Amino acid sequence: MADPRFFPPRNFAAIPEDHSRRETSRVVVLPVPYDSTVTAQVGARDGPRAIIDASEDMELYDIGIGREPFQVGIHTLPELEVLSGDAEAMVRRIEEVVGELIDEGKFVVTLGGEHTVASGAAWAHASRYPGLTVLAFDAHADLRDSYLGSSYNHACTLRRVLDVCPVVQVGLRSAAIEEHDLIRENRLPFYTVEAFRSLADPTAEILGHLSERVYITIDLDGLDPSIMAAVGTPEPGGLLWQEVTSLLAAIARERRIVGFDVTELAPQLGPFANAQTAAKLAYRLIGLALPTAEN
Task: State CA 132 to chain mean position distance.
Answer: 16
- Mapped onto helix, strand or coil, the DSSP state of residue 168 is strand
- Res. 151 pLDDT band, cuts 50 70 90: very high
CATH of domain 18-289: 3.40.800.10
pLDDT digits (tens, 9 = 90+) for 228-277: 999 999 999 999 999 999 999 999 999 999 999 999 999 999 999 999 99
Q: CB of 156 within 8 A of CB of 87? A: no
CB atoms within 10 A of CB 211: 16
Buried b (16+ CB within 10 A) or exposed e, 149-166: ebbbbbbbbbbbbbeebb
Neighbouring residues of 223: CB distance < 8 A, sequence distance ≥ 6:
137, 171, 238, 239, 240, 241, 244, 277
User: How do residues 212-221 score in pLDDT, each as one tens digit?
Assistant: 999 999 999 9
pLDDT at 147: 95
Nearest-CA neighbor of 140 among 151, 154, 126, 130?
154
Predicted pLDDT at 230 = 98
Looking at residue 292, what is its pLDDT? 66
* Band (295; pLDDT cuts 50, 70, 90): very low
What are the residue ranges spanned by the domains of the chain? 18-289
